[in-house]
Structure 1
Amino acid sequence: MSSKRSVAQETAKVSKSSKIPPALHSARGVKTWTEAVDWLKIRGIEDIECITPDLAGVARGKMMPTSKFTSNTSLALPSAIYRHTISGEYPEETGQFRYDARDSDIKLVPDLSTLSIVPWETDPTAQVICDIVGSQGEQISYTPRNVLKRVIELYRQKGWKPVVAPEIEFYLVAQNDDPDYPLRPPKGRSGRSILGGQGYSIAGINEFDELIDDIYHFSEKQGLEIDTLIHEEGPAQLEINLRHGDPVELADQVFLFKRTIREAALKHGIYATFMAKPMQGQPGSAMHIHQSVIDIETGRNIFSNPDGSPSQEFFFFIGGMQHYVPRTLSMMAPYVNSYRRLTPDMSAPVNTAWGYDNRTTAFRIPVSDPVARRIENRLPSSDANPYLALAASLGCGYLGIVEGLLPTPPSEHTANEGAIELPRGLLEAVSLLESAPALTEVFSAEFIAIYAGVKRGEFETFMQVISPWEREFLLLNV
Structure 2
Amino acid sequence: MPDRKKLSRPAGRGDVVRAPAFLKNLRGVKDWKQATSWLEWRGIEDIECITPDQAGVARGKMMPSKKFTSNTSLALPSAVFMTTISGEYPESGGGFVYPEDDGDLKLLPDLSTLTAVPWETDPTAQVICDLVHQDGRAVEFSPRNLLKHVVAQYAKHGLKPIVAPEIEFYLVHKNPDPDYPLTPPVGRSGRPIGGGQGYSIAGVNEFDELIDDIYHYSEAQGLEIDTLIHEEGAGQLEINLRHGDPVELADQVFMFKRTIREAALNHDTYATFMAKPIQGQPGSAMHIHQSVVSLKKGNNVFSSEDGGETQTFRHFIGGLQRHIPSALIMLAPYVNSYRRLTQGTSVPVNTRWGYDNRTTAFRVPRSDPAARRVENRIPSSDANPYLALAASLACGLIGILDKNTPDAPAGTAVNQDEIELPRGLLEAVALFESDEALTRILGASFVSTFAAIKRAEFETFMQVISPWEREYLLLNV
Spell out the pairing of 1:28-427 with structure 2 (5 A cutoff): 28-427=27-426
Structure 2 Cα separation of the partners of residues 22 and 41 of structure 1: 15
Structure 2 Cα separation of the partners of residues 373 and 195 of structure 1: 36
- CA offset digits 1:163-214 (Å, max 9, x no partner): 0000000000000111111000010001111100000000000000000000
Matched letter for residue 174 of structure 1: H
1:112 positional shift = 0.2
Secondary structure of the structure 2 residue equivalent to 1:279: coil
Matched letter for residue 172 of structure 2: V
Spell out the pairing of 1:388-467 with structure 2 (5 A cutoff): 388-467=387-466
Secondary structure of the structure 1 residue equivalent to 2:209: helix
Structure 2 Cα separation of the partners of residues 52 and 311 of structure 1: 38
- CA offset digits 1:347-392 (Å, max 9, x no partner): 3110000000000000000000000000000000000000000000
- CA offset digits 1:201-234 (Å, max 9, x no partner): 0000000000000000000000000000000000
Secondary structure of the structure 1 residue equivalent to 2:349: coil
Q: Is the 8 A contact 2:210 2:263 kept in 1?
A: yes
Matched letter for residue 123 of structure 1: D
1:15 positional shift = 12
Structure 2 Cα separation of the partners of residues 15 and 89 of structure 1: 54
Structure 1 Cα separation of the partners of residues 200 and 428 of structure 2: 36
Structure 2 Cα separation of the partners of residues 14 and 411 of structure 1: 62
Structure 2 Cα separation of the partners of residues 169 and 296 of structure 1: 32
Q: Is the 8 A contact 1:14 1:25 kept in 2?
A: no
Q: Is the 8 A contact 2:343 2:417 kept in 1?
A: no
Structure 2 Cα separation of the partners of residues 94 and 475 of structure 1: 36
Q: Is the 8 A contact 1:57 1:386 kept in 2?
A: yes
Secondary structure of the structure 2 residue equivalent to 1:352: coil
Q: Is the 8 A contact 1:14 1:43 kept in 2?
A: no
1:92 positional shift = 2.0
1:103 positional shift = 1.3
Q: Is the 8 A contact 1:142 1:447 kept in 2?
A: yes
Secondary structure of the structure 2 residue equivalent to 1:219: helix
Aligned length: 471
Q: Is the 8 A contact 1:15 1:25 kept in 2?
A: no
TM-score, normalising length from structure 2? 0.97
Structure 2 Cα separation of the partners of residues 392 and 258 of structure 1: 20
- CA offset digits 1:32-82 (Å, max 9, x no partner): 110000000000000000000000000000000000000000000000011
Partner of 1:6: none
Matched letter for residue 340 of structure 1: R
1:260 positional shift = 0.1
Secondary structure of the structure 1 residue equivalent to 2:240: strand
Task: Give structure 1 stretches of 5+ with no counterpart.
Answer: 3-9
Secondary structure of the structure 2 residue equivalent to 1:146: helix
Structure 2 Cα separation of the partners of residues 15 and 181 of structure 1: 58
Secondary structure of the structure 2 residue equivalent to 1:161: strand
Structure 2 Cα separation of the partners of residues 141 and 263 of structure 1: 31
Q: Is the 8 A contact 1:284 1:346 kept in 2?
A: no
- Shift in alpha-carbon separation, 1:405–1:67, aligned structure 2, 3 A: same
TM-score, normalising length from structure 1? 0.97
1:325 positional shift = 0.3
Q: Is the 8 A contact 2:8 2:18 kept in 1?
A: no
- Shift in alpha-carbon separation, 1:278–1:15, aligned structure 2, 3 A: farther
Structure 2 Cα separation of the partners of residues 346 and 18 of structure 1: 61
Q: Is the 8 A contact 2:185 2:235 kept in 1?
A: yes
- Shift in alpha-carbon separation, 1:436–1:354, aligned structure 2, 3 A: same
1:91 positional shift = 1.9
Matched letter for residue 165 of structure 2: P
Matched letter for residue 242 of structure 2: R
Structure 2 Cα separation of the partners of residues 347 and 81 of structure 1: 37
1:14 positional shift = 9.2
Q: Is the 8 A contact 1:320 1:398 kept in 2?
A: yes
Q: Is the 8 A contact 2:303 2:313 kept in 1?
A: yes
Q: Is the 8 A contact 1:288 1:381 kept in 2?
A: yes
Matched letter for residue 229 of structure 1: L
- Shift in alpha-carbon separation, 1:323–1:68, aligned structure 2, 3 A: same
Structure 1 Cα separation of the partners of residues 93 and 180 of structure 2: 34
Q: Is the 8 A contact 2:163 2:290 kept in 1?
A: yes
Structure 1 Cα separation of the partners of residues 4 and 456 of structure 2: 45
Structure 1 Cα separation of the partners of residues 378 and 6 of structure 2: 45
- CA offset digits 1:104-133 (Å, max 9, x no partner): 110000000000000000000000000010
1:345 positional shift = 2.1
1:96 positional shift = 1.6
Secondary structure of the structure 2 residue equivalent to 1:168: strand
Structure 2 Cα separation of the partners of residues 342 and 12 of structure 1: 57
Structure 2 Cα separation of the partners of residues 81 and 102 of structure 1: 13
Secondary structure of the structure 1 residue equivalent to 2:196: coil
Matched letter for residue 354 of structure 2: G
Structure 2 Cα separation of the partners of residues 19 and 269 of structure 1: 43
- Shift in alpha-carbon separation, 1:15–1:171, aligned structure 2, 3 A: farther
Q: Is the 8 A contact 2:90 2:98 kept in 1?
A: no
Q: Is the 8 A contact 2:165 2:287 kept in 1?
A: yes
Residues 98-107 or 209-218, more deviating: 98-107
